[in-house]
Amino acid sequence: MAVAQISVLSSDEINLVHHRTLEILGRTGIMVRSPRALDLLERGGASVDRKAMRARMPESMVKETIRKLPRQLRLCARNPKQDMVAPRTGHPYMATNGTAIWVKDMETGERRTSTGKDLRDFMVLCDAVDALDYVWPIVTAHDAPDRTHALSELAISLENTTKHVQGEAMSADEARAEVEVAAAIAGGSEELAKRPIFSVIQCPICPLEFEKGSVEAVIEFAKAGIPVVSMSMALCGLTSPVTLAGTIAVVNAENLASFTISQLAKPGAPVVYSSESTAIDMKTGEIRYGSSEEVIIAAAVGQMAKHYGAATMVGSFGVGLAGEEPGIPSGPEELAFTAMTCLSATDFASGIGGLDQAKGAAFEQIIIDSDIWEIVRPSMRDVAFDDLHFVSELIDTVGPGGSFLNVAHTARNMRKELFLPSTEKAELYSSYRLDRDKMVIVLNARKRAKDILATHVPETIDPSAKKEIDGILRRYRT
């Protein structure tokens, strides 16, 4: 099989990144603001300075971590037909953007703070959109109590889609409560461990710092068999060196450190190597999603993940990230790098539906991004190179100067071999020239989103599970 993919590191450079990463972990170390996690690291062989809350990991410890990593990962869904398995060949599994703080109201057009009702509607829409393989809680439920944001968002998401949900937790207590919620749906904690219907993104604080609540949540999730996505969010020149080599080494170190904590908590714990790292705008200090640096970092750390045999989530996709209004790419950089990180060695990707550098979300953008992803992803499909697909005998039969259009083989295989775009969608997007045409595209997307919300009913969870979840939420909020 052959797959379109960006690679930036040679085999020698992969080994060099690994060597420099070992230097960082062994000499500089990581800051871990949790006595519990420091105890775990010390028992595993790390040198721990408790006053500085710093752990330094020898090469042998990192090597043992890599040895324990699972070689296959299954992210399950309420509907088993929507399970995802890594490593993945071809295009990555795709998800929404996550935990935006505002939403573009479809009725009023205003930008406003998002609520739990917005999240429910987004999940219903995402449940119906085929281009999405799994979901993040795309907006924050600001009407939930402060300490239960992530738990409430996980519950809302699991109840309103049958797809795999990727959440987060800010403490060990919240992690245990999330496991309880998912176990109520899965049929118990043992069944949940066998079929994890949710996973979590737990971000180190770049550079090289692990916050107490988050790292203790990682330990709880590892013990429960819940996959942990260790998303490094390095920013070149701010939280990581301005050099790409230095940033890549920091990202690699943060992922291996997170993996080590998970594997010490439970050998073989499911983990995903992840990065959403990019540069900052040196003029404004803002994050620059969609930059050329993001593409290079994603490709390089994707190669590092595959070097270790780890599942990967290093791809981002989203055409509205630069603006506050729904639409399609408006600038050359945004257009050029819309999908390029998805050409890295990644099993999972995300970003659909996001606006304003991922701070906002819009229902229309879900539809528009999904349409464009359906056009982009065929370029990442598997291409077979074998006797069956070389069709040497057919070439010999047609011969020089012949035509393959009228042979039975073409008619029989064209839908399997060629991407045949929707004529209706192609006409809609090919008309994009002026602001008037952009408005047509957004209005069309709005109508389609409203139609789905008016007609689509996700498969409900068992009433007894719903009752149990409500009880967990009440108990955790008190």
What is the DSSP-derived secondary structure letter of residue 26?
I
> How far, in Å, CA of 419 to CA of 92, rounded?
17
φ and ψ at residue 240, rounded to 5 degrees: -145, 165
| Lowest-pLDDT choice from 75-79, 169-173, 417-421, 432-436 | 432-436
The closest alpha carbon to 38, from 29, 176, 7, 95, belongs to 29
Phi and psi for 274 in degrees, rounded to 5?
A: -145, 150
Across all residues in the chain, what is the average pLDDT? 92
Q: How confident is the model at residue 317 (pLDDT cuts 50, 70, 90)?
A: confident
Question: Which pLDDT score, from 0 to 100, does residue 96 have?
Answer: 96
Please give the pLDDT value at position 430: 66
Model confidence at 306, in pLDDT bands (50, 70, 90)?
very high
DSSP 46-110: -EEETTTTEEE--HHHHHHHHHHS-S-EEE--SSGGG-EEES--SSPEEEE---BSEEE-TTT--
Least Cα distance to 472 among 176, 121, 144, 53 occurs for: 176
Predicted local distance difference test score (pLDDT) of residue 331: 64
Give CA–CA dist 92/313, Å, rounded: 9
Q: What are the structural domain ranges in the chain?
A: 68-381+463-477, 387-417
Pick 217 or 330 by higher pLDDT.
Answer: 217
Mean pLDDT confidence for 346-368: 93
In the block, tokens 């979300």 appear at 361
With a cut of 90, say whether residue 338 has pLDDT above it. no
Residue range 68-381+463-477 in CATH 3.20.20.480: yes
Q: pTM for this one?
A: 0.93
Q: What pLDDT band is residue 60 in, cutting at 50, 70 and 90?
A: very high
Output the pLDDT for position 437: 66
- Read off the pLDDT of each residue in 227-247 and give the average, rounded to a whole number: 95
Mind listing the pLDDT tens digit for each residue in 93-125? 999 999 999 999 999 999 999 999 999 999 999
120-177 confidence digits (pLDDT tens): 999 999 999 999 999 999 999 999 888 888 999 999 999 999 999 999 999 999 999 9
